[in-house]
């Protein structure tokens, strides 16, 4: 059944950035303008209307700087564009066209490390006296053994070998690379390194025109035993960016628990909420166990806001480092829709990972290529901009209904996303409001109240595989009509009936 909405009677509200929905783009896998199989900036520019139609107002581009890796996280030039993607002029054109559509552009900025082919590192390995030696973290081999014993793998890397040798090196030293030997960590104790990073940021913000940065691996600017230095560094970084461009948007990746995340908020008031992604996934997989979820989320959210009043939660279900949500849900499209619906009704600024909205599949295989396959525009090669950079067989026109077919199908997952985003964009309660427990505890129905100023909405998600009827308490009977529903919910006489895997919003 198609989505229905009663929001036509409500005042149309255009959500402002950064409160709208954002979209994570892997350029390589999106749209190919020159037929080489690899997505590029010209192709992305030609597809900008896709994002406007979907309703997003911000694009986070995974790295586009020169790199010797497919994913571009091993940067070799902080002021360039990778030739796979095009030229700097292509990127400037893309930004200008995005801005015409009121879409902001957020660039991935990798400052924890460079690639080992970066000119700075190639100079650094030449010897202790090289002026670029201190751009990286070096230590005598005999002191590294004890340091290495303290290292363990983490959620953002399965690698625990942090100290690396340069083949043929005679200096007696090893360099630090948190992720691996191909990503040597920059030395932020060196003020020259900090200035290089700020100069590059200024270049992208002022000369190129990006609207902000997604900060990769923010927890690892300094080694794990120097957390306080990490926190201070990001406060300094934020001050520098605000001096360059006061309205620049910053969002950071600190893949950890809330206690570890919290001190980063003074420098990065918007951080990706990994915990919420796990909670949404778990509750949809289980089909119950909703009691306490809102209380847990609200406690963390209130804690973060107490640290940074301008805290803005960056929410998502999955990203490019994780298996795709539809694969984790064993191909159940209705569950995948519901996961998105929960995301869109929680506070914060939700991010969609490229292809989620058409039900792409993917597992973490072959250096994470498995969850980064090409967006499926149409069957075969009928869309001239179809990228074909890699094929693991998870997402193809045989396993995923192409966008060209979904766009005209009111029951498709694409139209579920599109209509839900449109409703969210029209609601200040959902885009900017607080979240409150409703007092109603039903194991199969996740429910809560969203409030903005004096306006409220009551949100209900049936996470089970059976129809559920909910009797409103006397207090909740202040909600008297159906504002939005996804699968034919009915509401009368203080009771709402929710089909399996469905959402309803009352006003």
Whether residue 337 contacts residue 413, with contact meaning beta carbons closer than 8 Å, is answered with yes
CA 228 vs. chain centroid, Å, equals 25
Nearest-CA neighbor of 180 among 272, 235, 112? 112
DSSP β-ladder status, 58-61 and 104-109: parallel
Active site residues: 216, 253
- Longest pairwise C-alpha distance within the chain: 82
Whether residue 18 contacts residue 347, with contact meaning beta carbons closer than 8 Å, is answered with no
Residues of the chain with CATH 3.20.20.80: 16-112+191-425
Q: Which helix (H) or strand (E) holds 304?
A: helix 293-307
Coil vs helix vs strand at 1 = coil
Give the model's pLDDT for residue 7.
Answer: 42
Q: Count Cβ atoms below 10 Å from residue 312 Cβ, excluding itself.
A: 21
**What is the rounded radius of gyration, in angstroms, for the C-alpha atoms of the chain?**
24
Q: Which CATH class is domain 433-506?
A: mainly beta
Domain made up of 16-112+191-425: CATH architecture? Alpha-Beta Barrel (3.20)
Whether residue 116 contacts residue 181, with contact meaning beta carbons closer than 8 Å, is answered with yes
Residues of the chain with CATH 3.90.400.10: 119-176
Among the CATH numbers 3.40.50.620, 1.10.3720.10, 3.30.930.10, 3.90.400.10, which is that of 119-176?
A: 3.90.400.10
Q: Count Cβ atoms below 10 Å from residue 301 Cβ, excluding itself.
A: 21
Give the model's pLDDT for residue 145.
Answer: 81
Q: What is the pTM of this model?
A: 0.96
Give the model's pLDDT for residue 285.
Answer: 98
Give the model's pLDDT for residue 6.
Answer: 47
Which two three-digit tokens encode residue 182?
């191909």
Nearest-CA neighbor of 353 among 339, 379, 372, 366? 372
Residues of the chain with CATH 2.60.40.1180: 433-506
Which two three-digit tokens encode residue 214?
């997604």
DSSP 8-state code for residue 472? P
Whether residue 58 contacts residue 106, with contact meaning beta carbons closer than 8 Å, is answered with yes
Coil vs helix vs strand at 360 = coil
In terms of DSSP H, where are the helices of 287-377? 293-307, 325-328, 333-345
Tens-of-pLDDT digits for all 507 residues of the chain?
455 554 443 444 568 999 999 999 999 999 999 999 999 999 999 999 999 999 999 999 999 999 999 999 999 999 999 999 999 999 999 999 999 999 999 999 999 999 999 999 999 999 999 999 999 999 999 898 877 766 777 767 777 789 999 999 999 999 999 999 999 999 999 999 999 999 999 999 999 999 999 999 999 999 888 999 999 999 999 999 999 999 999 999 999 988 899 999 999 999 999 999 999 999 999 999 999 999 999 999 999 999 999 999 999 999 999 999 999 999 999 999 999 999 999 999 999 999 999 999 999 999 999 999 999 999 999 999 999 999 999 999 999 999 999 999 999 999 999 999 999 999 999 999 999 999 999 999 999 999 999 999 999 999 999 999 999 999 999 999 999 999 999 999 899 999 999 999 999
């Amino acid at each position: 059944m198609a989505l229905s909405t009663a929001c036509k009677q409500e005042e149309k509200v255009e959500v402002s950035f950064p409160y709208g929905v954002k979209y994570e783009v892997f350029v390589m896998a999106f749209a190919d303008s020159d037929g080489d199989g690899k997505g590029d900036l010209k192709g992305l520019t030609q597809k900008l209307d896709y994002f406007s139609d979907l309703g997003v107002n911000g694009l986070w581009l995974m790295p586009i700087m020169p790199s010797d890796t497919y994913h571009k996280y091993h940067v070799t030039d902080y002021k360039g564009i990778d030739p796979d993607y095009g030229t700097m002029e292509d990127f400037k054109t893309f930004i200008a066209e995005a801005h015409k559509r009121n879409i902001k552009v957020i660039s991935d900025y990798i400052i924890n490390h460079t690639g080992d082919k970066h000119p700075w590192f190639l100079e650094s390995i030449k010897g202790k006296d090289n002026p670029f030696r201190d751009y990286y973290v070096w230590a005598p081999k005999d002191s590294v053994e004890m340091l290495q014993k303290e290292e363990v793998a983490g959620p953002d890397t399965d690698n625990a070998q942090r100290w690396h040798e340069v083949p043929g090196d005679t200096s007696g030293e090893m360099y630090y690379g948190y992720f691996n030997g191909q990503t040597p960590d920059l030395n932020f104790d060196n003020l020259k390194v900090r200035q290089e990073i700020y100069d590059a940021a200024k270049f992208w913000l002022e000369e190129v025109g990006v609207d902000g940065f997604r900060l990769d691996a923010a927890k690892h600017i300094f080694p794990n035993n120097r957390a306080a230095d990490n926190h201070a560094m990001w406060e300094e970084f934020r001050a520098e960016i605000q001096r360059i461009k006061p309205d620049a948007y910053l969002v950071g990746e600190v893949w950890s628990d809330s206690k570890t995340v919290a001190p980063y908020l003074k420098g990065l008031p918007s951080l990706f909420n990994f915990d919420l992604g796990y909670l949404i996934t778990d509750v949809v997989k289980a089909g119950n166990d909703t009691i306490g979820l809102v209380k847990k989320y609200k406690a963390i959210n209130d804690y973060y806001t107490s640290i940074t009043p301008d805290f803005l939660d960056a929410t998502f279900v999955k990203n490019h480092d994780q298996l795709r949500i539809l694969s984790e849900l064993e191909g159940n499209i209705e569950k995948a829709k519901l996961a998105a619906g929960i995301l869109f009704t929680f506070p914060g600024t939700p991010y969609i990972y490229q292809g989620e909205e058409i039900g792409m599949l993917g597992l973490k295989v072959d250096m994470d290529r498995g969850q980064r396959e090409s967006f499926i525009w149409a069957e075969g090669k009928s869309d001239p901009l179809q990228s074909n950079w890699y094929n693991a067989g998870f997402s193809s026109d045989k396993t995923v209904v192409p966008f060209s077919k979904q766009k005209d199908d009111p029951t498709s997952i694409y139209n579920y996303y599109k209509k839900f985003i449109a409703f969210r964009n029209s609601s200040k309660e959902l885009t900017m409001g607080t979240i409150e427990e409703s007092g109603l505890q039903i194991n199969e129905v996740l429910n809560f109240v969203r409030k903005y100023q004096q306006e409220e909405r009551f949100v209900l998600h049936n996470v089970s595989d059976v129809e559920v009827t909910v009797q409103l308490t006397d207090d909740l009977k202040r909600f008297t009509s159906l504002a939005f529903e996804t699968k034919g919910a009915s509401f009368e006489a203080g009771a709402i009936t929710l089909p399996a895997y469905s959402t309803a919003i009352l006003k």
